């Protein structure tokens, strides 16, 4: 059973920051999940929202700002004063850090409502540059990004994100040549696990934060979970 720290360790530190990723690593996770956007000057940065107000002292949308402008913002104080001055990481920074560990890195491309033209090319290039091809999964709710990623580099693993229950999720997986399927745990049922899994596809469910949630799906053949609280699950499931 793989355990991914969702946005690092979102329940314990400001999400999608190096501190959150470090805490997840220290807790013994198998992998981390993070989200990426493209800045005004074409850099790939790690943040969940397209806008800045919730997790920083900035205003506006990420693609309205350059990487240097974003670096001047505080992405930690909103969570707690002890995290004041936390910076927004770049994808390169996280991948270089993770390369020295054994972590799997799930990179979610946040296409929609803003569609970042060319983000797949930049993400694929960074994965290869950091020599992380064998330890990265690229996921997205915007499924055309996954198809594009496979066209760019068939060796990069991908994951179909769902917040619904498709009639035939495995058909969609075959159509996009995707390697894994990432459903919201609420919609899991035996059909996901009993379906014919193309090329040994894995099921990684999100976001499970309570043991009773895990118990609800534990018999459904899930291969991994994503959680805001890795401390609640590492070594316990």
- Any idea which residues carry the catalytic annotation? 6, 48
| First-to-last C-alpha distance (Å) of the chain | 8
CB 125 within 8 A of CB 138: no
Q: At what angle do helices 119-129 and 91-99 cross, to 10 degrees?
A: 30
Tokens encoding 184: 């919201």
Distance of alpha carbon 32 from alpha carbon 144, whole angstroms: 23
Quick check: helix, strand or coil at residue 133? helix
- Pairing type for strands 44-46 and 31-38 reads antiparallel
Stated as kind and residue range, the H or E segment containing 108 is strand 104-109
Q: DSSP class of residue 77?
A: T
Q: Return the residue matching tokens 């459904």.
A: 220
């Amino acid at each position: 059973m793989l355990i991914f720290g969702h946005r690092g360790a979102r329940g314990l530190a400001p999400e999608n920051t190096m501190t959150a990723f470090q805490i997840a690593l220290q807790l013994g996770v198998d992998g981390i999940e993070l989200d990426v956007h493209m800045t005004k000057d074409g850099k790939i940065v790690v943040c969940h929202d397209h806008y800045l107000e919730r997790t920083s002292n900035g205003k506006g949308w990420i693609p309205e700002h350059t990487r240097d402008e974003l670096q001047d913002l505080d992405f930690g104080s909103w969570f707690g004063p002890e995290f004041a001055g936390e910076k927004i990481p770049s994808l390169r920074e996280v991948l270089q850090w993770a390369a020295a560990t054994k972590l799997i890195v799930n990179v979610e491309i946040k296409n929609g409502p803003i569609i970042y033209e060319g983000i797949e090319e930049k993400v694929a290039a960074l994965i290869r540059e950091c020599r992380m091809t064998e330890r990265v999964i690229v996921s997205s709710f915007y499924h055309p990004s996954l198809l594009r990623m496979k066209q760019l580099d068939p060796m990069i693993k991908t994951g179909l994100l769902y917040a619904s229950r498709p009639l035939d999720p495995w058909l969609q997986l075959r159509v996009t040549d995707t390697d894994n399927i990432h459903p919201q745990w609420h919609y899991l049922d035996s059909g996901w696990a009993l379906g014919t899994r193309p090329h040994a596809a894995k099921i990684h469910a999100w976001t499970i934060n309570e043991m009773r949630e895990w118990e609800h799906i534990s018999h459904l053949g899930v291969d991994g979970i994503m959680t805001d609280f890795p401390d609640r699950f590492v070594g316990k499931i």
